[in-house]
A and B are shown apart, each in its own frame.
Chain A
Amino acid sequence: MKLLVPVKRVLDFNVKVRVKADQTGVDLANLKMSMNPFDEIAVEEAVRLKEKGFATEILAVSIGPAQAQDTLRTAMAMGADRALLIQTDEDLQPLAVAKALKALVDQEKPDLVIMGKQAIDGDNNAVGQMLAALWDRPQATFASKVEIAGAVATVTREIDGGLQTIAVDLPAVITADLRLNEPRFASLPNIMKARKKPLEIKPLAELGADTAPRLTVTKVAEPEGRKAGIKVTGAADLVARLKNEAGVL
């Protein structure tokens, strides 16, 4: 069974986000970039499926700038077998990413695509669902548990009131939620090994997908901030203030 794992290079989740003064976007210059945390979880799940003998090959793919090769090397250090960079300097919107991935899926014919539920830059939570639709295959989003038997994946999903389990016929798209697993750290020997694994680079145009933007961002602003309040002296002070000052009791 062949697995495809799309991974995105994003601003590291620990870096403080600053909006550019001219309000055209978020400042990314010289800041630490990492693999989207949900994609790390997706890579980990793929590697576990391979370790359990379900998967035979894991292909990691990223659509992005030349630097996304680092992200792909990380995926290979975690256990992906090969990697593909679909190179572009444009920041593609989810519909365009989904179309590019659909073109790739047609070429690579994976049995399963495992990806993050959400990239933590745009917070779109969209590409997995869109890829599944374009591919005309089922989706199992927000996964917290994945079991494969034959050509069926049984997936437990995190939903509003708790958990739901569904069965989807492969090929399918699974999107990873936080509780699916705890991703491993790549060991030094595995980082060295990953340097020798194949990493292919293709220009985006070669996929022939329509990646024209549909959305225009006209402004990126700081949110209305909250100010720090006061420290109260104890529970009695707190309750009095909640009742009299804030009026919320």
Chain B
Amino acid sequence: MAVLVLADHDGAHLRETTAKTVTAALKISGEVDVAVLGGAKAVAEAASKIAGLRKVRHAESDALAHGLAEAEEAALLPIAGEYEAILAPATSAGKNVIPRLAARLDVAPLNDVAAVIDAKTFQRPIYAGNAVETVTTADAKVLATIRPTVFEAAGQGGSAPVEALAPGAAPAFARFVSQDTVASGRPELGAAKIVVSGGRALGSEEEFKAVLEPLADRLGAAIGASRAAVDAGYAPNDYQVGQTGKVVAPDLYIAIGISGAIQHLAGIKDARVIVAINTDPDAPIFGVADYGLVGDYKALVPELLAELAKVGR
């Protein structure tokens, strides 16, 4: 039987996490469909270019445009019977709808799957990534969110047909009010090749920007933050990296004034190279950093910028 992947998009663009989830889906079945709920035609067309798909199903409605779980449930329930597995990237949107749909289908969902062993057996991190469980489901169906950072994106060059999907009747008891999302013009945190992150040491929103932005500009990097920096209002909530924020897996992660609590490390373990800048030589971040720079970021970040300029970055 086929597998359905829920597309991750911002209304106008398809995110790469979708193609990564398709890779996980192809490990379960050779027949993979993508559902685009809400979003422009261009999103569905972009999805149809992912290699290896059987078809793309596109549903549109006001409620779907805002990613309300109740509306997504209404669109997906009628077609759920066609699939042996329904997967979504482990983003806040995916985590919002997959368990809801699973409960409706009387299925035990799996969150944040990091490896597909076979069609019924998966691995996923628990305890902030301090342990990895191998779990087999006895349910007829699999409903899971997939940790996109551990899967390669499926290739391009496909031309799957795009079919209209009935949006279903969304219940009126949940309504969209407003959205406050800022496009930063930088690469997406979860997909960026380089991430520079700031912690509590930055001390203020102004300082956070003044230190992190020039470095991110120079490296073409995304900006992340520790929970402490977000809680203190130095950075927006969606910058948070860690157990309960975003999981990143860039080639290069630079942690500035971040101590390296396990909850933060949970989000960066799969980075290829970790650099830490911290005044405390015993900070736990140095226990995972490939390159550690002990000292005050106030002096070190300007020096780093100058050295990067010298090598043409």
Contact = CB atoms under 8 A, between A and B. Distances in A.
Given A123-B243, A228-B286, A19 B96 contact: no
Contacts of B236: 162
Interface in A217-237: 217-223, 226, 228-232, 234-236
A166 B176 contact: yes
A216 B244 contact: no
Interface stretch (A49-57, A62-70, A153-161, A187-195): A153-161
A139 B69 contact: yes
B108 A223 contact: no
Interface in A135-163: 137-142, 144, 154, 157-163
Interface string B301-313: 0011011101101
Contacts, number: 272
A207 B272 CA distance: 49
Interface stretch (B21-29, B78-86, B125-133, B154-162): B125-133
A161 B240 CA distance: 11
B291 to A, nearest CB: 5
Interface string A22-62: 00001000000000001000000000000000000000000
A129 B238 contact: no
B295 to A, nearest CB: 8
Interface stretch (B36-44, B136-144, B202-210): B136-144
A81 interface: no
7 contacts: A120-B244, A133-B73, A139-B174, A164-B176, A166-B66, A223-B129, A232-B293
Interface of B: 10, 66-70, 73, 91-93, 95-104, 106-112, 121, 124-139, 171-183, 194, 227, 230-231, 236-238, 240, 243-244, 251-252, 262-263, 269, 272-275, 281, 286-294, 300, 303-304, 306-308, 310-311, 313
The 6 tightest CB contacts between A and B, nearest first, are: A161-B181, A229-B290, A130-B103, A17-B130, A235-B303, A138-B174
